[in-house]
Structure 1
C-alpha cells in the first residue's frame, strides 16, 4: 500500500518516496505568457505561419496572452486559444468542457488521471482537493503511483513530463472563489480591504461571467478606475498595474456514503494509502510523527497525530496550538508549517497516508 503526504516546498524533490508534495505559489504581479503550457507562434505573430493548422504553437496574439495588447478588440491577431493544431483543448479546457461527465453518485468531486487508455480515479483525492482549494498552492507531486512520481500543475491543470492527462470532475455544485494578488498575498474577491470596505467585484459575479464564456473578461470599477479580469490570461488589468488571478473551489469533505460508492467504482484506481499520519521535520531533516509523550520527558508533546487530523478534518485551512516542553507552537494547515510562538522559528509539517 502506497503512502502519501504533503509539504510546502518551493523546490519539489525528485527523490522517490511514498508521499505527496505541494508547491506554494508566491504571488507576483508579473504574468506567465505560457499560461496554457504552449508558447505563441512567433511566425504567426510576425505576419504568417506556413504550417497553418498543423502548427504545434499557439496562433494567438502574444501580447493578449500577457494581458498587454494595446489594440484590444481592434487587434488583427487572434485573441483566444482555440486555433492551431493542439492549442485549443489542453487538460484544463477538457475539465471545463460540457462533454466532461458530472458526478451523480453522491461524490462532490473526483480527481482522475488518463494514461492514453482510460480515466482512472485517484483514491484519497481529498488531499489533492484540499491543496487545490488553497490559492497559493500551484502544484502537487504524487509519489509511488503506477506511473512513478506524477507532478500536477493546478494553474494549468496538466501533468509535467509524462504522457498523462489530469482532470477534476464534480457534481456541478462546486462553489468557486476568485483571488487576486495584492501585496504579495492572495486576496479573495468580495472580501473587505484593509479599510473594511468590500471589493467592488465578488467571486459569484466573476464566476457567473466565466461560466457564460471562459474566453471573455469581466470588468468592474473602483473609484472611477476600470479594471478588467481577462480569463484566458488569468489577469486583472488596470491602467497602470497587472495582477495575477486564480480560481479555486471551496473545499468540501466527501460524505461517508460517497466513499463507499467510490470504493465500488468499476474504474481502475491509483491507490495512495488510507490512514492519515501527521509529521514534523526535525533540525536534521528527518521526519517524525506527532505523538503524545509524557510530561517532563525530553520529547514531551501535548498532541497526537490523531488530534491534529481531527482538527484538520473540521477545516483544512485552520490552525491549532499545542505545547512541547512548556513551549507553545502553532500549526498552520494552509502553509503546512509549525511555528514556535516565542522564537518564531518554523519547521515544515506534512500529512502522509500509511
Structure 2
C-alpha cells in the first residue's frame, strides 16, 4: 500500500477533525446524496475490464457494461503485446463490444438503441452534471424514446431496456477525488480554513487507483491512519467511514450553446438533473449552521448553467459578493468572509 503522512499536529488538526467525523444521515449532508451519485465505484465504472471476458467467456456479450479488453493491457503491462488473444484498446478495440474508442477531445457521451452507438451533441451538459460529486444523474426530454433518465452511478438508462449509455474517456481527463462531510463534498488536497494543504492529493489517489482498482491507499494525519478502499469507495479510519467519489474535472467546450440536441437518430432534447421537476434552489450557510435560500436563486441557476465551473458577482446593501461554483463558496469582496453554498435539487 502507498502511504502519505502528515505528522505535524499544528497543520493536521483541521483535517483530522474533518476526516475523522462519522457519516451523517442528515438531509444536508453529502453522505446521503452520494449513495446514488457515486459514478466512480469500480463495480459500475465502464473503465473496469470484464473479469469473465478475461477468463475466457462473457455470456452478456455486447450487453455487458464492463470493458471487453485485456485487463493487463489496460494497466499497460500485457506481456503478449500484439499477440494477445484478447482485445487491446490501442488497436481500435471497443467498449462493451461496441464502437471504437478513436475520437478527439477529453470525453464523449453516447447512446445506443440496438443499432449502434450514436454521439450525443453538446454532451458538455451531461459532462458538467457528471463532474459534480453530488449529482445523481440527468433526465433527457423530447427524444424519440420520451424521457431518458441516466443514472451516473450505474451508467445505465432507467426504464428503457433497449437503450444504453456510456462515457468514453479521452487521454486528457483529470480525475478528482472527493470525500463526504456533514457540510458537503470536499476535494482531497483542498486547503483547510487555516490555509494548510490536505494530507493527500487527488493525483496521488488516482495513480494508485489506476495501478489496482480493487486495492487501497493509506495515509496518516498525526497518529491516525486512514485507508481509501477503491472497491467500496470508502475512506476508513477505525470504525469511522466516509463515502468517496471520483469525478472528472469539467472541461468546457471550445464553443457551442447549452441547448441539448442529439445527433443522427436523436432529436433535439431538453435536459435536467435526474429527479428534478422544478428549478434547483440555491442556498447559503448561516452562522448557526442552517441553510437559507437566495432571493435570486433562479438568476444564480441561470448563470450556473452557462458555466458549471465559473463564478458570478452580485451586490446586496452595497456589499459585493462572489459566488464560486467550482468551490461552492460565497465570498464578501470587502471583508473576504466566506460561506458555503449549495444547489438543492427539488423532486
TM-score, normalising length: structure 1 = 0.53
Q: Output the CA distance in 2 between the equivalents of 1:93 and 1:244.
A: 25
- Cα 1:174–1:270 change in 2 (3 A) is farther
Within a 5 Å distance, the mapping from 1:253-264 to structure 2 comes to: 253-256=252-255
- 1:255 CA displacement: 2.5
Match of 2:31 among 28, 31, 41: 28
- Aligned equivalents of 1:349 and 1:136: distance in 2? 10
Structure 2 unaligned regions, length at least 5: 1-26, 53-57, 75-88, 272-276, 281-295, 329-340
Post-superposition offset of 1:91: 3.5
Equivalent residues of 2:111, 2:119 under 8 A apart: yes
SS in 1 for 2:136: strand
- Structure 2 residue corresponding to 1:111, chosen from 106, 109, 112: 109
- In structure 2, the partner of 1:193 is 192
Contact 1:92–1:167, Cα closer than 8 Å, also in 2: no
Question: Among residues 306, 318, 324, which one is paired with 2:311 in the alignment?
Answer: 318
Are 1:272 and 2:269 matched, yes or no? Answer: yes
Q: Deviations over 1:209-232 (max 9, x none)?
A: 122222222222222222221122
Q: Equivalent of 1:91, from 50, 56, 65?
A: 65
Separation in structure 1 between the aligned mates of residue 36 and residue 315 of structure 2, nearest angstrom = 44
Alpha carbons of 1:321 and 1:171: their partners in 2 closer, same or farther (altered >3 Å)? same
1:149 is aligned, of 147, 151, 156, to: 147
Pairing partner for 1:136 from 124, 134, 137: 134
Q: Which runs of 5+ in 1 are unaligned?
A: 1-23, 37-59, 66-79, 258-262, 275-280, 288-301, 337-345
Q: Structure 1 239/30 Cα, relative in aligned 2: closer, same or farther at 3 Å?
A: farther
CA change 1:335–1:236 in 2 (3 A) is closer
2:164 matches 1:165: yes
Given the superposition, is the C-alpha separation of residues 235 and 147 from structure 1 closer, same or farther in structure 2, using an over 3 Å criterion?
Answer: same
Contact residue 319 and residue 332 of structure 1 kept, 8 A: yes
- CA distance in structure 2 between the partners assigned to 1:127 and 1:134 by the alignment: 12
TM-score normalised to structure 2 length: 0.54
Root-mean-square deviation (CA, aligned residues, Å) is 5.2
Which position in structure 1 is the counterpart of 2:247?
248
Deviations along 1:82-129, one digit per CA (max 9) or x if unpaired, are: 46966xx96366799744344533x33221112233111112211111
The question of whether the paired residues in 1 share the 8 Å contact of 2:28 and 2:184 is answered with no
User: CA deviation digits over 1:141-183, x for unaligned, max 9?
Assistant: 1112222111112122222222222111132110110000122
CA distance 1:213–1:198, shift in 2 (3 Å): same
- 1:116-131 paired onto structure 2 within 5 Å: 116-131=114-129
- Relative distance call for 1:319 and 1:235 in structure 2 (3 A) is farther
The answer to whether the Cα contact below 8 Å between 2:313 and 2:320 also exists between their aligned partners in 1 is no
Cα separation, 2, equivalents of 1:241 and 1:166? 35
Distance 2:29 2:157 in 1: 20
- Where 1:191 maps in the other structure, the secondary structure is coil
The residue aligned with 1:41 is none
Task: Output the CA distance in 1 between the equivalents of 2:205 and 2:314.
Answer: 36
In terms of mean alpha carbon deviation, does 27-36 or 139-148 score higher? 27-36
CA shift at 1:250, angstroms?
Answer: 1.0
Determine the C-alpha separation between the residues in 1 that align with 2:156 and 2:28. Answer: 16
CA gap 1:241/1:256 in 2 versus in 1, 3 angstroms: same
Q: Is the 8 A contact 1:179 1:189 kept in 2?
A: yes
Query: 8 Å contact 1:110–1:168 — kept in the other structure?
Result: yes
